[in-house]
Structure 1
Amino acid sequence: MGPASSLFFMGLVMVVGSVSSSRFDELFQAQWALDHFVYQGDTVQMKLDNFSGAGFSSKNKYMFGKVNVQIKLVEGDSAGTVTAFYMSSDGPKHHEFDFEFLGNTTGEPYIVQTNVYVNGVGNREQRLNLWFDPTKDFHSYSILWNQRQVVFLVDDTPIRVHSNLEHKGLPFPKDQAMGVYSSIWNADDWATQGGRVKTDWSHAPFIASYRGFEIDGCECPATVAAAEVSRKCSSSAEKRYWWDEPRLSELSLHQSHQLLWVRANHMIYDYCTDTARFPVTPVECQHHHH
């Protein structure tokens, strides 16, 4: 193989398993309540009414990469509703990265709750008020996942980082391929003011709108063994994945400042400082504050 053809071959290897698309039907499928979906050009809407919510899922699972979607959240009185965008693996020991948008009565800030599950254990909630009205326009919500960190981003501003602290004896989600999901449902037992405000069904249907679907990750066929997936989806001499680049192993200085700004001005709850729930500060909390 001559130098030109080997370069071409390397180029081919690099794109295998890495996908990106803005089309819903190339990457995703309606998962439940198919009659609660509305398709308008590049936009997909999911409806919640007093019969059902709705949900969609990616057609494939992925190991590492970046997922992004633009969402316009339920307008008006959305109290009691939850719209979620998340990644998750399967089974009782699953890993999961959650964005959950908690509805409100008109005029109150929308709350975003994030959570990280590792080996089936969550209880890592953080909540913040957004710095814009997420019901008036589409905004980007992204998850970047590599061997070193999981970063939650809103319009490319990091709002949360979950770092790999395996050297401290903590497990890190890097051994299970994950699907990408979204759903809208009624959670008025807890979603708004701790469940004090119930869903007002006279305002149904509650509609969340989606567009700008992107998954740029290492695709993992269900038939491939876990060890093989880890090898296939790690950068090596033969192939490089952009999310494995050293500069993406931690936040840039600018991103670190953005995260500090978010935490100082918009965070309203952090499990790390909840001494009632955690009398002993969780180990990862002692290291996460840059």
Structure 2
Amino acid sequence: MGVPVSVFFGFFVGLVLVVGLVSSAKFEELFQPSWALDHFIHEGELLKLKLDNHSGAGFSSKSKYMFGKVSIQIKLVEGDSAGTVTAFYMSSDGPNHNEFDFEFLGNTTGEPYSVQTNVYVNGVGNREQRLNLWFDPTKEFHSYSLFWNQRQVVFLVDETPIRLHTNMENKGIPFPKDQAMGVYSSIWNADDWATQGGRIKTDWTHAPFIATYKGFEIDGCECPVSVAAADNAKKCISSAERRYWWDEPTLSELNVHQSHQLMWVRANHMVYDYCTDTARFPVLPPECMHHRH
């Protein structure tokens, strides 16, 4: 089952008619391997992706979605994971694609695991934020989620918001709301940049590197490939005939508790924010001027 409407984000939003939603916790119902099938290991409810000096591995959702919430529980690579990247992201297709990224950057033993997030809108990215997680993500499973509606995109770790991307179209800033997106995850070698800017390389004597997954959930509006994008966009927005849970007014912005959580994350765990990188951006990107967080 998907996340009950009554508990999502911690408050009750009333009875909502849910139409065209997909919800499951089984990998094979929602996803399929996209490359290196021989680097997949199935152990009961667990899926393991393996990286060695021959290949990484990746999977993708069978469908694309417009709005809703996607969650996966991941236990990241243990020990010396320097040079490796485990990614969980949503993306549409084409050069003007939209994309929301979690990238978990490995490190040497004992160093904190960091997560880099990024947002692409109409093919424009370079919007990285990086933070050190406040727990060891290699010891237990933790939930990583993307919530998306017409008003905001929220990145969540164990239901704590770590990044907010707000719709500011009224200020002339484009927002990703018109392209259905697939859901993807992969593990690969990125030792040219992933750990300390590429100074620490992957130690293949520690291979294979294993990322373990469970708890696959998609609670969103499924968009058939055969349907035109504009028609999908209309289908996934609430109307007089149907109401979707993600369009409830209470989900148009973070509540007070979530806002405080996000401020805590930024104050205590953020190590890089593109909005403060004047070397890369002598002129501040426009959304940085308006974001409160």
TM tier, smaller: over 0.9
1:24 paired residue number: 27
Match of 2:137 among 126, 134, 137: 134
- Taking the aligned partners of 1:193 and 1:15, their CA distance within structure 2 comes to 45
- Taking the aligned partners of 1:270 and 1:136, their CA distance within structure 2 comes to 27
Note if 1:154 corresponds to 2:157.
yes
After the TM superposition, which parts of structure 1 deviate over 6 Å for at least 4 consecutive aligned residues? Answer: none
Note if 1:278 corresponds to 2:281.
yes
Note if 1:170 corresponds to 2:173.
yes
- Structure 1 unaligned residues grouped into runs of 5+: 1-12
- Taking the aligned partners of 2:224 and 2:66, their CA distance within structure 1 comes to 10
2:81 paired residue number: 78
One-letter amino acid matched to 1:215: I
- Taking the aligned partners of 1:42 and 1:242, their CA distance within structure 2 comes to 28
One-letter amino acid matched to 2:50: K
Q: How much does 1:42 deviate? A: 1.0
Match of 1:209 among 209, 212, 222: 212
- Taking the aligned partners of 2:162 and 2:129, their CA distance within structure 1 comes to 10
One-letter amino acid matched to 1:113: Q
- Taking the aligned partners of 2:261 and 2:66, their CA distance within structure 1 comes to 27
Q: How much does 1:16 deviate? A: 3.6
% identity of equivalent residues? 81
One-letter amino acid matched to 2:251: L
The one-character-per-residue Cα deviations of 1:91-148 (angstroms, maximum 9, x if unpaired) are: 0000000000000000000010000000111000000000000000000000000000
1:265 paired residue number: 268
2:230 paired residue number: 227
- Taking the aligned partners of 1:247 and 1:64, their CA distance within structure 2 comes to 15
One-letter amino acid matched to 1:42: E
After TM superposition, the score normalised by the length of structure 1 is 0.95
- Taking the aligned partners of 1:57 and 1:64, their CA distance within structure 2 comes to 17
One-letter amino acid matched to 2:47: V
- Taking the aligned partners of 1:81 and 1:106, their CA distance within structure 2 comes to 13
The one-character-per-residue Cα deviations of 1:157-206 (angstroms, maximum 9, x if unpaired) are: 00000000100101100010000000000000000000000000000000
Match of 1:119 among 117, 122, 145: 122
- Taking the aligned partners of 2:49 and 2:29, their CA distance within structure 1 comes to 18
Q: How much does 1:281 deviate? A: 1.4
One-letter amino acid matched to 1:199: T
1:103 paired residue number: 106
Q: How much does 1:282 deviate? A: 1.2
- Structure 2 unaligned residues grouped into runs of 5+: 1-15
Paired residues in the alignment total 278
